Amino acid sequence: MPESVRQDLPATDDHIAFCTSADQFHAIRKAAELIGWTITDYVLSAALDRAERDLHEHATCQAPPADVDPTPPYVALLIALT
């Protein structure tokens, strides 16, 4: 299983199920087989990779902490342009 799949999380009985077309299933199965993974490991890894990326992007888009003064870079830019 890939490193991005968190091994430190407790095992649960939670399940995710979804339907695929025959073509989608075939593509996922072939890709998993190419790297020697099960379909479950392959899909879980892809979903977790995407979730981690989306969570990281969301966190970096948040407003800066209230104690950070955002004006110095703008002042420096204005001084450089004058």
Model confidence pLDDT, tens digit, residues 52-71 = 999 988 888 876 666 777 67
Residue with token string 């490193």:
3
Indicate if the alpha-carbon torsion angle 30, 50, 52, 43 is positive or negative. Answer: negative
Residue with token string 């892809």:
46
Half-sphere exposure of 78 (CA within 13 A, CB side): 5
Q: What are the extents of the domains in the chain?
A: 22-81
pLDDT band at 74, cuts 50/70/90?
confident
Res 6: pLDDT: 58
Res 71: pLDDT: 73
pLDDT higher at 36 or 3: 36
Radius of gyration of the chain (CA): 22
The residue type at 34: L
Res 75: pLDDT: 78
Res 26: pLDDT: 98
Nearest to 52 by CA among 9, 5, 18: 5
Res 48: pLDDT: 94
